[in-house]
Amino acid sequence: MLLEGVYGSFKLSQESSKKLAQWIKDSGIVDPVDVEGLHITTTYSKVDPEVDILPSDKTNVRLDHKEFGIATYGRALVIEVESKDLEDIHRSAIDAGASYDYETYKPHITVSYNAEANENILPLLVPPDFDIILSHEEVEPLKEDDVTEDLPANSTANIAIYAKPITFKMFKRRNGLK
C-alpha cells in the first residue's frame, strides 16, 4: 500500500548542529543520528491535508537550553524542547487537515534510534547546556511504501538495534534498601 501525506521539519543551524554533534560525542551516546539528520519534526501526516502546507516563514528560532529534557520515545533517545513557535506551526498544519497519530505534540530532537544501547548512560545524561537555533522549516511530500496501519507515525520498529558493549555497569537499588 502506498501512503501519501506531508512531512515538515525544522533544521538546526550549522553551528547548533556542530555543537549538538559534539555534545552527543562527549556524552558517549551509542548509535547517534548523523549530524545532517538532526531536526525537529513539525508535521508527519499520513494523509494529504485539505490545503497545501507551506514552510513556515520563521527563521532562527531559539530553543532555550533551560527548557531541555532527556527522554526515550519508544526506541528513540531524544532531547525534549519547549517552543510555542513549533507548537503553533504544528497546530496550523493540523488545522489545515494534516493528521497526527498522537494525542499531544512533543517537539524533540532524536539523538539516537537505539535507546536500549544507551540505557546505562541515561541516569547520568544531562541535556545540552547551550541554546539551539533552528534555521528554517522544510516541507515535502511523505510517501511510504508498505506501511502498516498499526505502526505509529514515528515508529522505529523497522530500524535494527545492535547492542554495543558497555565498559561499566550501573546497579539500581531495590526499594527499601540503602
pLDDT at position 52, please? 84
Query: Does the pTM exceed 0.85?
Result: no
pLDDT at position 144, please? 64
Could you tell me which of 168, 80, 177, 63 has the C-alpha nearest to residue 124?
168
CB burial of 77-109 (b: ≥16 within 10 Å; e: otherwise) equals bbbebebebbeebbeebeebebbbeeeebbbbb
> Which value, to the nearest 10 degrees, does the dihedral of the CA atoms of residues 96, 94, 70, 37 take?
-40
pLDDT (tens digit per residue) in 156-168? 433 443 333 333 3
39 is catalytic: yes
136 is catalytic: no
Q: Which three cell numbers stand for residue 94?
A: 493540523
72 is catalytic: no
108 is catalytic: yes
pLDDT at position 53, please? 86
pLDDT (tens digit per residue) in 44-103? 998 887 778 889 999 999 999 999 999 999 999 999 999 999 999 999 999 988 998 888
Q: Which of 39, 42, 43, 90 is catalytic?
A: 39
* CATH number for the domain running over 2-145: 3.90.1140.10
Q: Which of 42, 43, 90, 108 is catalytic?
A: 108
